[in-house]
Amino acid sequence: MHSVGARVTGIGEAHPSQLDDELKSWLHGYEQVPSVVDEGALYDAVRRCQKREWVDRLECTIEAHIITTAKVREATKIPGPSVQSAMLCRDKPMMKEFLRKHDIPCAQSTGVDTIEEGLAFARRVGFPLIVKPRAGAGASGTTRVDEEQHLVQTLREMNVGRGASVALEEFIEGHEGFYDTLSIDGRPVYEFVSHYYPNVLDAMRNRWITPYIVSTNRIDASGYDELKAMGRKVIEVMDLGTTATHMEWFVGPKGLKFSEIGSRPPGVGQWDVYADGNDIDIYREWANAVVHGRVERRPSRRFASGIIALRPDRDGRIRGYEGIDEVQRRFGQYICRAHLPPAGWPTQPIEAGYMANAWIQMRHPDYDTMREIFEIIGRTVKVRAG
């Protein structure tokens, strides 16, 4: 924001002394709060800013901050996505119910507060089913259940019947990916399509899998027309306005299905991947969209780009790597950046995501070759821990 002429005040939980010099140089002001999700504290911080000067926008990038930010934005009369839009983005059963009313194809779903409600949905829809937090992000807390006993056990573990409420969804067979945008006044000015290999739920549950994501540079191919049309309609009917969006989808025997959307940038370093593949400073362009209502550069689509997660063979501490030198020799010219924690570094659970341990981000002019390279890396690189 600072780089395109905005006067930026940060609001955060860190003490001002913890901010590094570069960050401080970008800030016009800083307000410390006990918790960013404390609506009262955030409201007070914003009102202090408004007493000093006019505030045009209130932005956040973290999923858990979306609703609180929207409520404070509305209370302080600052433009941006509404509380209703924020609620729809966070509450998955509400989101799908709303979109079905607008003819967006979704998996059958419901919110359940009791074991009995969960069983009734299962008997109506059939197994397998997906159980997830109503306001979760990605695959966090998501479980596939294949029969009634497992469903009851999972719901109890998630405290359903004791005050908790969860989302229960029809399992959709098929390939999974995501459609991301930078939108201005509800119109995507940047669009990106990425593919998971394998699907997220499989990737996050099996250590032996070396998962990767590839963002295509063939987005203008006719095969993506239906997906782009669906994504644009979701953004329009949800009235998301000027924001980054991240939408998950499935395609399979039941056709193309919407999964969920967030009014935020994607995780796992995907914006860096998009920048690598398209010769743009996407962070600056996001700032241009918010501050000036326009972008300066078009994506080049020169490269397919992506990330591969390199899992340690067990939990513990990193002992070393096998195959990295071969990968560097064969594919070093396509590597954009890599994270290889040194020996002695503690591992993270694989459920923590694609960037929890070692990873490599790459780009290549051809999508199919990019996939092939990631497959080779998955067979070649071993991360040893103990």
Per-residue confidence in pLDDT tens, the chain, 386 aa: 788 999 999 999 999 999 999 999 999 999 999 999 999 999 999 999 999 999 999 999 888 899 999 999 999 999 988 999 999 998 888 999 999 999 999 988 889 999 999 999 999 999 999 998 876 655 567 888 999 999 999 999 999 988 888 989 999 889 999 999 999 999 999 999 999 999 998 898 889 999 999 999 999 999 999 999 999 999 999 999 999 999 999 999 999 999 999 999 999 999 999 999 999 999 999 999 999 999 999 999 999 999 999 999 999 999 999 999 999 999 999 999 999 999 999 999 998 999 999 999 999 999 999 999 999 999 999 999 99
Please write the tens of the pLDDT for every residue from 342-386.
999 999 999 899 999 999 999 999 999 999 999 999 999 999 999
Separation CA 203–CA 366 (nearest Å): 24
Separation CA 174–CA 258 (nearest Å): 12
The amino acid at 150 = H
Closest CA to 267 of 233, 285, 251, 244: 244
Q: Which three-class secondary structure state does DSSP give residue 281? A: coil
Under 8 Å CB-to-CB from 367, ≥6 apart: which residues?
214, 216, 217, 218, 304
Closest CA to 343 of 362, 324, 366: 324
Spatial contact of 358 and 340, defined as CB atoms under 8 Å apart = yes
pTM confidence score:
0.90
